[in-house]
Structure 1
Amino acid sequence: MPTLRSNLPPTSALAIARRAHYTALGIPKADWEKPKVAIVNTSSELAACFSHLDDVAARLKVELRDAGLLPFEIRTTAPSDFVTSAGRAGRYILPSRDLIVDDIEAAVEGAKLDAMICLSSCDKTTPAHLMAAGRLDIPTIIIPCGYQHSGLAEGREADIEEIFLHASKAAVTGESTDALEVLAEDAILGPGVCAGLATANSMHILAEALGMAMPRSAPVRALSAPMWDTVRRSAQALAALIDNDVRPRQIITEGSVRNAARAMLAIGGSMNTIKHLQAIAIESGLDVDVWEMYRSLGRETPLLCSVRPNGPRLTEEFEDAGGGATIIRELLPLLDGAQLTVSGATIAENSALAKPADGDVIRSIDDPFGTDPAISVLKGTLAPGGAVAKRPVPDPGPHVFRGPARVFGTREEAIAGISSGRLREGDVAVIRGIGVTGAPGLGLTSAFIFALHARGLAQSVALVTDGQFSGLVNQGMTVGEVSPEAASPGSPLGRVRDDDLIEIDVKRGAVDLLVDDAELAARPDYVPPADRDTGGGYLEQYEALVQPLSCGAVLCARPCPSKEIA
């Protein structure tokens, strides 16, 4: 075993003070020199996503002690998209990811703990845990803590995703929500994350494909026997990582990042995985362009499943068919199988133990559901740095949309534009100034997309925005996270005017502003409104430090290695 950094010089003041605390905490003297492990717990009573994590932490402590380790539970902020999005138009959602990373650094690095085991649940916790692993570079394992039992899995009418969709539509149409209020009581029947391949389950599978979670760990029913088996195996594996001094930067490499991107394309995962994987790469010291990885690999990666919200199958069916492990097994000819994982084995060695594709829920690379990318990274004169569109599986089209711009400064203005008639069939709604700096914090536009659905305009009005939308959205021509964002100097998006022609071509991977270069260059830059509601606290700090989406929107006082493409 390597020298443990937690074992301070025994005669130092800090070591003696630490012993006093250990005694007060009831820690036996025989345990004082053992490897000290942080159980990173994002427990919260605000949402079902996190409500079971204290139970997981309690069981994990026993497993870690049995493995010869000394666990210390630490807490971080715990954001949920359905709860934390209430304040300031949802602009705390993405910034909370980086707050978790800083929470972990302050607790783990401040105490000089030797390793981490992270209880990952809702959307922002998994990327935050992986970012912290890359930043601190101490032995770390991610435990995906499972998805919730839903009404749909019981043959009922709704899960949380259905409630979200229909409630958003009702808010626009003014329809009665009485029936929805009854359905909401049946939508979530247990703890865990949303039961679909939205961001949370996508990120759980990404952690496994990256090599940072144990094989056969995602997706998994919360509090199920397979989840508890992952907890046990993770504790044992962490002890081996510490003994052999295997650190995250030996696992998170350019090859494993490419494997993870490939896996996300094969499942039609959440579009949010792009910026999160880019942030993980940056925090791990890698100078790779994840956006370009998705763009190039998307054209050569087959779609191997069709799970909600992309298709009809439930996540339970996907898990029972082998889940992420089977996807990795089937993709192996396209992956770097020599990449190391936290299990101590390689991706290829782990794959040998996974179920083969059943040909129904999960297909082989020779008989996929489709070959069009479910996550399309677009570039062009409107988005030189990239933008992203989420498509259904399989993709019926249309794949090209061309129309005049109608420019809005907020999601609410755009929704009002539907009712007022300012937005008509054939238009391209441009919602700008809500990027990571302009918002600040990356504004949500899902409510506008659902409003289009409610008014029957989802296929006849396109959306282009520097904000984000939910991982549930995959219908219509919706293009988000345009880079450079409008608030960046020289941004084409910031110079768009009403009636400018915009063309979106998903097949070609392009989003273009059809305006003469000289005319566009003569236009002034977009200036964020002075009356933005930033609250004077964390969001203002975030605005001052956040890097562009091309750098994963990480927080840094100096420019990140990958510059914004302009």
Structure 2
Amino acid sequence: MKDSAGKTPETLRSSRWFAPDDLRSFGHRSRMMQLGYSEEEFRGKPIIGILNTWSDLNSCHGHFPERVKDVKRGVLQGGGLPVELPALSVDESFNKPTSMLFRNMLAMETEEQIRAHPLDGVVLMGGCDKTTPGLVMGAITAGVPFIYLPAGPMLRGHYAGKILGSGSDAWKYWDERRAGNISDDEWLGIQGGIARSVGTCMTMGTASTMTAITDAMGLTLPGASSIPAADSGHQRMGSDCGRRVVEMVWEDLTPEKIITDGSVKNAAIVAMATGCSTNAVVHLIAMARRAGCDLTLDDLDALGRVTPLIANVRPSGKDYLMEDFFYAGGLRALMKQIEERLDTTCITVTGKTMGQNLEGAVVYNDDVIRPLSNPVYHEGSLAVLRGNLCPSGAVIKPAACDPKFYNHEGPALVFDSYPEMKKAVDDENLDVTPDHVMVLRNAGPLGGPGFPEWGMLPIPKALIKQGHRDMLRISDARMSGTSYGACVLHVAPESFVGGPLALLKTGDIVRLDLANRSLDMLIDEDELDARRKAWTPPEPKFQRGWGWMFSKHVGQADTGCDFDYLERSFGEAAGEPDIF
């Protein structure tokens, strides 16, 4: 507080609202008094905004009404004034057609909420898949000190003596139900046992991936991403966030001092080592670009080639869930295992370096968090493909699919819409073999619309009944981070805008060569040119509203799907509001 390089009461951002002796500030002070605050409570001390993404339809954030009380307690203990502001919940389960349609809306809301209000610092409360990147993207652009509070994973699922993992076991047992191997009562038991507490998915899905990325980037308290939502340590972490963000304000520890090329690379390496969701590619690129850091698909692939997967957590790992990961030492322990690969000089929200934050971290179970000498998978979680089907890139998760598909050639079975595909896969007489390559198009950022999680295409019932549980599948969609299988995703450019996937026909031969990172359709170039000339652009999905704005400005998967006018390269962010 007294550091000459930091803030003083007179230079607090909120002082521009409350300190001047003019009519506008009189109105601000009067309204604060109307809310029941005395001047001693809001003048000359940091005002901390708490952006809370709670809603009655977001089970991942069901504990946030209580957790915000812990944050407020910490802010008050630190000498600040906490003020809670609502933020778009963007829940994964109920938002249709896909929560990804609204990630940028949350980013815009976050940026403008911070800019428009007398906030000196912010605690961001999120965790469900899109809330982490949405909140962080907006807060980066707003530029005030912030700290991220992750919701934390839920407890392990249980049914009939078996441990269940979010998403992953739902897909697994759904295939068995389609095969006629699971009764109605068993299905109901799995339904009630797979999600037993508040918190995000307890597999290494998108939620845990993105909170781990934010942790590794230095934006959370050390290891905060690993704490289960139901653990009392999560409550203590909440109050710690409140106290610490007040100190960050006095220190003027703003995002640009934390988010650097080094911290972004740390986040990418940790993502690979954890067996991250494929969604990490889209969100991490978008977050990095907001901070002015140049992160590309090729950078991620290069890191994936040399970073071993050491978190034995489903779906990339075989045996454990996030609760086990926490007991094994959590993210700090995993990062300690790969410390030599990280830039430990990066500053974090603690005001200390990443190296200092990792001091004393210990692995308590080396089957959950493996040593480098015994990885779950010798390379990282993700690989980036290129070829005449995906000139701007596509993504696959090799650790989560059958190795026999690493080098595969087979005829395409192409579907133009999800309903068409769904009807076909439930037809037991569908003409399909395990060598076929299922393809879904018109499911990208514009085609979906909104880039839905349709990429884990269901195995056709005809193959399920023959005992098959995986096959090569390709789409311009995303897939849930809890998914698995030989799924090629994020094909860019997407088919809806005339990408090469739009030219593929059923029966065309498709070849995947993972070692060489290639994905191609084996079609003569003259034939492709003829198909390209015959292709007709589809009708726009939206005529008005948010969807229209989204469709006019969203980028493709390889650039992070941010809006063109929100990226740093578009221009400078708006300055401070004119308070007169």
TM-score when normalising by structure 1: 0.91
Matches within 5 A, 1:92-491: 92-152=98-158, 155-156=161-162, 158-161=164-167, 164-165=170-171, 168-169=174-175, 177-289=184-296, 291-310=297-316, 311-356=318-363, 358-392=365-399, 396-418=403-425, 419=427, 420-445=429-454, 448-449=457-458, 454-455=464-465, 461-475=471-485, 477-489=486-498, 491=499
Which whole-Å CA distance do the structure 1 matches of 2:569 and 2:36 have between them? 46
The SS at the match of 1:179 is helix
Work out the number of aligned pairs and report it: 553
Separation (CA, whole Å) in 2 of partners of 1:324 and 1:157: 22
Q: Is the 8 A contact 1:306 1:312 kept in 2?
A: yes
Q: Could you say if the C-alpha distance between residues 194 and 493 of structure 1 is closer, same or farther in structure 2, counting changes exceeding 3 Å?
A: same
The structure 1 residue matched to 2:555, chosen from 547, 554, 557, is 547
Post-superposition shift, 1:433?
A: 1.4
Asked if residue 60 in structure 1 is aligned to residue 66 in structure 2, the reply is no
> Which amino acid in 2 is paired with 1:60?
V
Match of 2:39 among 18, 26, 29: 29
C-alpha distance in structure 2 between counterparts of 1:557 and 1:218, whole Å = 31
- Secondary structure of 1:59's aligned partner: helix
Cα-to-partner distance string for 1:482-521 (whole Å, 9 max, x where unaligned): 11111234x2222222222211122222211222233323
Cα distance in 1, alignment partners of residues 178 and 545 from structure 2: 32
Structure 2 CA distance for partners of 1:383 and 1:132, relative to 1, 3 Å = same
* Structure 2 counterpart SS, 1:269: coil
Question: By how many angstroms is 1:176 displaced?
Answer: 5.1
Q: Please tell me whether residue 493 in structure 1 is matched to residue 501 in structure 2.
A: yes
Deviation at 1:528, TM superposition (A): 5.1
Range 505-514 or range 415-424, more displaced: 415-424
Q: CA deviation at 1:22?
A: 0.7
Q: CA deviation at 1:148?
A: 1.3
Would the aligned equivalents of 2:49 and 2:85 in 1 still touch at CA under 8 Å?
Answer: yes
Q: Quickly say closer, same or farther: Cα 1:124–1:301, change in 2 above 3 A.
A: same
> Residue 118 of structure 1: CA displacement?
0.8
Q: Secondary structure at the match of 2:236?
A: helix
Q: 1:299 aligns to what SS in structure 2?
A: helix
- Moved beyond 6 Å, runs of 4+: none
Against the structure 1 CA distance between its residues 211 and 300, is the aligned structure 2 distance closer, same or farther, given a 3 Å change threshold?
same
Output the amino acid matched with 1:53: F
Deviations, residues 382-428 of structure 1 (Å, cap 9, x unaligned): 11211111233696444111112222111221233332524433221
* Distance in 2 between residues matched to 1:535 and 1:191, nearest whole Å: 38
Does the 8 Å CA contact 1:159/1:186 hold for their aligned counterparts?
no
Q: Structure 1 residues 406 and 528, CA, compared in 2 at 3 Å: closer, same or farther?
A: farther
Answering whether residue 28 of structure 2 is matched by residue 18 of structure 1, we say yes
Deviations 1:67-96 (A, max 9, x none): 011111111121222222xx3xxx331022
Asked if 1 retains the 8 angstrom alpha-carbon contact of 2:456 and 2:484, the reply is no
TM-score by length of 2: 0.89
Distance in 2, matches of 1:140 and 1:197, equals: 25
What SS does the corresponding residue of 2:552 show, helix, strand or coil?
helix
Q: CA deviation at 1:336?
A: 1.0
